[in-house]
Amino acid sequence: MDLTNDNITEKFDFRYYIRLCRRYWYWFVISVVLCGGIGVFYALSTVPVYQVVANILISDEDSSRPSNAMSELASQFSAGNMMGGTNSVDDEINVVRSHSNLRQTVKDLGLNTGYTVTRFRVFDRDVADKTPVVMTCDPAIADTLGCYIGFKVVVNKEHKVSIKAKANDKTVIADVKDKPFPVTLSTPYGDFVFDKTKYLKKGKGVKMTVGFSSYDASAEGLAESVSIYIPSKRANIISFAVHSPHSQYAQRILNTIIDNYNISGINEKRKKDQKTADFVAERLASISKDLNLSEEDIEHYKRSNKLTDVGADASKWMSRSTTLESQIMNAETELHLLEMTRDFINEPGNEWQLIPALNVNAAVPVDAYNGLLLQRMQLQNTARGENAILKKLDEQISALRDNLKKSLHKAYENASVRLHDLRVQAGESKAQLSKFPEYERQFGNIKRQQAIKEELYLYLLKKQEETSIALANSMPRAKIVDEAYALSEPVNLSKKKLVAIALSIGLIIPVVLIFLFDKLKNKFDTIGELERLTPVPVLGEVCKKTDAGSPLVVKSVGGSTSVAELFRLIRSNLQFILGNTGSKVVLLTSTISGEGKSFISINLASSFAVLGKKVLLMGLDIRNPKLAEYLELSLTDGFTSYIANENITLDSIIQHDVLEKNLDIIVAGPIPPNPSELLQSERVDDLFARLRTVYDYIIIDSAPVGMVSDTFSLVRVADATVYVTRANYTTTKEIGFLNKLYAGKRLPKLSVVLNGTKTAAGYGYGYGEKSGK
């Protein structure tokens, strides 16, 4: 508790609030009866509401991706992608709760027509599809209707019906009375036919309301009543939930929503597949033409360039070029040998020399010539002189040499021509080989175009088969995991629970009100409340006087009343605070006037006098003296007269044995012009010094400390201070002021008394617990 602030911060006291609740027990009785009655009424009018749920799994059509670039490219231009991107669960949940899907559900189940039967003249209950009277009309009315139409239907025991139709529950648009079934009701919006069903019992009437609205308005209402959500972001599950007192009817609603979603998805998928099939067929025809043109281009290119296979032809020409190069080298070697042989023969010094074996052309008789020379060489070694055989052999050799020269010349010319031809062929071969890179590039471009078109053609053929299969076997997008089913327990409270809650509320409301009233009030009326508000010791409480007579309640004779006993308790507590040594000066004060300070002073002094103690009661509220008036004493000289005039003696201002034996009184005296200065006089200290020698207890009835500072001037002569508060009069803010005084130790041995509490039964023991009743 903050003692330096005028505002009180209290700790919660459980026992205190228990006492308050016991005091206001009748609040609990009234609250429980009212809340219990309301609870019973509400329980009777409430029907069980069940939660109906369903779950579907969204299949992922895009889970299998194409395996090659051409297929992936084609998938980007598929009809599905051209019509709208991916189909995620987030997208699908918006499709499920779309206005068109819910509108179709409303139309299929007739949810735009509602039937409510009035029972016990008080409760209206929705009867769903078990209605005793059914209404039909042209479906086109619900397509164009721009308002709500309510039909009040009253069927009497003879099963004659009266119907009143209102647009938006305001304007009467049709009215019929006591008509037999079926009844046709003509309105500006169209004709409505009412007929009875098997649920209308014989000999019993019924009062009900039929509501009719457009499909669009009902679809909006259905969207608000049905909860559609994704239970987990990691799963492709969509959950449905709806609360309804008619579980089977709600199951049909959820199942129809799912069925319409699947039907819409199948139709959409078929449209997509059909567009894909048309697109594939169109592309197949175009690609087939392009593929034929590509093959014709390949044929024309090969024919114009005399090619069969570019790679094989290039290898053939490469082999030919290599062969020609080898032949050229051989021809050049042969020509060089012939030239060397010719030069050797034409050399004069080599006339009878053997020609070297240079492997010249076989057409040149080199071996024959060398053979004759060898014969001559042998014959020359044996022959002498002119030998006819040698001479003849020389002639043969000469003739053969001339023939050899001619043969060498002819062979040389032939070899030169052949070398030239080979070189021409080699040039042609090299020129042809140089064209093959260009052939390969051009043929590669043509072949590449043909391969692309061929692969695309094959893919489209495969896609055409897949699309045909998809068209023949269209599956719904949603797999039903759980068909709509109702939970076993109602979601709303049972009748017993409703009544129990109502009774609990009936108990809680008084507690809350008591707590709020206690917190909002700025006054207190029991000693328990006072003890919670201040740490200052509480001497006790004093109950209100029931009579308007003398203020004295503590008497030596006939003073055994409950109030007198409370004063005796206060006296005992004060004696404990003062101790048992010396004369005691007790200062009584309060915050403001009217708190009973003088009353407490008179009876506390009388209480000490009854013990046989010598007691002096001093009226020192010198600005507003009331003590003499209360006790009906003569207005003689008093305290102020004695302090201000040294000629006045102490005995002249003391009135002896006024109320009780041993009880003397000094009244305040005339009101001085300077009260504060008067109380600060040294004569005051001398006066109390003299009085302490004569009296056991001196009780000072001083001024309110919250209004003037006079009481603080008397603190120096006091041993203890009794602070008087009054029930339902002193405010909590004034208690905060008391706490500040206590914290600042401004008043000696400060204690507090509560005055004006309610009359207690018997004696006031218990520090106000009984007196607080």
Per-residue model confidence (pLDDT) at position 469:
79
CA 703 from centre of chain:
65
In this structure, the answer to whether residues 500 and 561 fall within a common structural domain is no
- Asked if residue 251 is part of any domain, the answer here is yes
Report if residue 84 sits inside a domain: yes
584 DSSP 8-state letter: E
Share of the chain above pLDDT 70, in %: 82
- Is the pLDDT at 85 greater than 50, yes or no? no
Find the angle CA(319)-CA(320)-CA(323) to the nearest 5 degrees: 90
Q: Where are the beta strands (DSSP E) in 18-73?
A: 50-58
pLDDT score, position 314: 66
The rounded distance, in Å, linking the Cα atoms of 157 and 226 is 38
Task: Name the token pair of 303.
Answer: 């024919």
Confidence label for 79 from pLDDT (cuts 50, 70 and 90): very low
The pLDDT mean for the chain works out to 80
Crossing angle between the packed helical segments 388-472 and 247-304, to the nearest 10 degrees: 160
Cα angle 760, 766, 768 (rounded to 5 degrees) comes to 50
Q: Please give the single-letter amino acid code of residue 216.
A: D
342 CB-side CA count, 13 A: 16
Please choose, from the candidates 657, 476, 585, the residue with its C-alpha nearest in 3D space to the C-alpha of residue 57. 476
Neighbours of 390 (CB within 10 A): 17
Q: Which residue has the higher pLDDT, 273 or 75?
A: 273
Mean pLDDT of 508-527: 82
Q: Is residue 150 part of a domain?
A: yes
Whether 451 maps to a domain, the answer reads: no
Q: What is the pLDDT of residues 299-337, one digit of tens each?
A: 676 676 666 666 666 677 677 778 877 887 887 787 777
Contact assessment for residue 153 and residue 163, using Cβ atoms and an 8 Å cutoff = yes
Contact 50, 243 (CB under 8 A): yes
Is 315 in the same domain as 410?
A: yes
* Percent of the chain with pLDDT strictly greater than 90: 15
Q: How confident is the model at residue 266 (pLDDT cuts 50, 70, 90)?
A: confident
245 with 318, same domain?
no
What values do phi and psi take at 593, rounded to 5?
A: -75, 155
pLDDT over threshold 60, residue 769: no
What kind and span of H or E run contains 95?
helix 89-96
One domain, residues 78 and 212: yes
pLDDT, position 84: 42
pLDDT for the residue numbered 66? 45
The pLDDT tens digits of the residues spanning 200-258 come to 888 888 888 899 999 999 899 889 989 888 888 777 888 999 888 888 888 889 999 98
Total of domains in the chain = 4
Q: Which of 735, 339, 687, 370 has the alpha carbon at shortest distance from 521?
A: 735
| pLDDT(296) > 80 | no
Give me the sheet containing 538-543, strands edge to edge.
538-543, 750-757, 720-726, 584-590, 697-701, 615-619, 663-666
Question: How far from 486 is each of 54, 249, 616, CA to CA, in Å?
Answer: 9, 10, 89
Residue with tokens 């809350």: 512
Q: H-helix or E-strand containing 115?
A: strand 113-119
State the Cα–Cα distance between residues 158 and 173, nearest whole angstrom. 26
Q: How far is CA 292 from the centre of its chain?
A: 62
Taking residue 165's Cβ as centre, other Cβ atoms within 10 Å add up to 23
Range of the domain at 504: 14-46+493-520
Q: How confident is the model at residue 444 (pLDDT cuts 50, 70, 90)?
A: low
Total residues belonging to the chain: 773
Distance separating alpha carbons of residues 409 and 407, to the nearest angstrom = 5
**Co-location of 604 and 687 in the same domain:** yes
| Tokens representing residue 30 in the block | 């009234």
Indicate the angle between helix axes 310-346 and 388-472, nearest 10 degrees.
170
How far is residue 475 CA from its own chain's centroid?
35
Strand 697-701 with 584-590, pairing: parallel
Tokens at residue 675, please?
């009260």
Render 176-191 in DSSP notation, one character per residue: EEEEESSEEEEETTEE
The answer to whether residues 538 and 417 belong to one domain is no
What pLDDT score was predicted for residue 522? 81
User: Residue ranges of the alpha helices (H) in 665-731?
Assistant: 675-679, 682-692, 710-713
Read off the pLDDT band of 454 (50, 70, 90).
confident
Which pTM value belongs to this model? Answer: 0.50
Report how far Cα 644 is from the mean position of its chain's Cα atoms. Answer: 82
Is 93 in the same domain as 42?
no
Report yes or no on 217 lying in a domain: yes
pLDDT of residue 70: 47
Give the count of alpha carbons within 13 A of 183, CB side only: 26
Q: Which residues on neighbouring strands pair with residue 56, listed in sequence order?
A: 238, 480
Residues 321, 358, single domain; the answer is yes
Euclidean distance between CA atoms 156 and 151, whole angstroms:
16
Contact 10, 529 (CB under 8 A): no
182: preceding bond cis by omega (within 30 degrees) = yes
Q: Does residue 3 sit within a domain?
A: no
In this structure, are residues 350 and 466 in contact, taking their beta carbons and an 8 Å threshold? no
- Tell me if 298 sits within 8 A of 310, measured CB to CB: no
Rg (CA), the chain: 66
Residue 673 domain-assigned (yes or no)? yes
Task: For residue 133, give Cα distances in angstroms to 115, 247, 249, 274, 731.
Answer: 8, 21, 17, 47, 69
**Same domain for 325 and 240?**
no
Whether the predicted pLDDT of 82 surpasses 50: no
- Predicted pLDDT at 547: 60
How far is residue 495 from each of residues 52, 55, 486, 490, 502, measured CA to CA in Å? 21, 31, 20, 11, 11
Task: Give yes or no: residues 348 and 439 share one domain.
Answer: yes
In a domain, 141, yes or no: yes
Strand (E) or helix (H) holding 496: helix 495-520
645 vs 404: CA distance, rounded Å = 192
Please give the Cα distance from 441 to 438 (Å, whole number): 5
In terms of domains, do 676 and 751 share one?
yes
Q: Are 244 and 143 members of one domain?
A: yes
User: Shortest CA distance to 66 belongs to which of 437, 574, 462, 625?
Assistant: 462
The CATH number of the domain holding residue 751 is: 3.40.50.300
Model pLDDT, residue 194 = 92
Nearest by Cα to 623 from 677, 675, 681: 675
Flag whether pLDDT at 500 surpasses 80: yes
Which residue, among 330, 338, 346, 331, has the nearest Cα to 411 in the 3D structure? 338
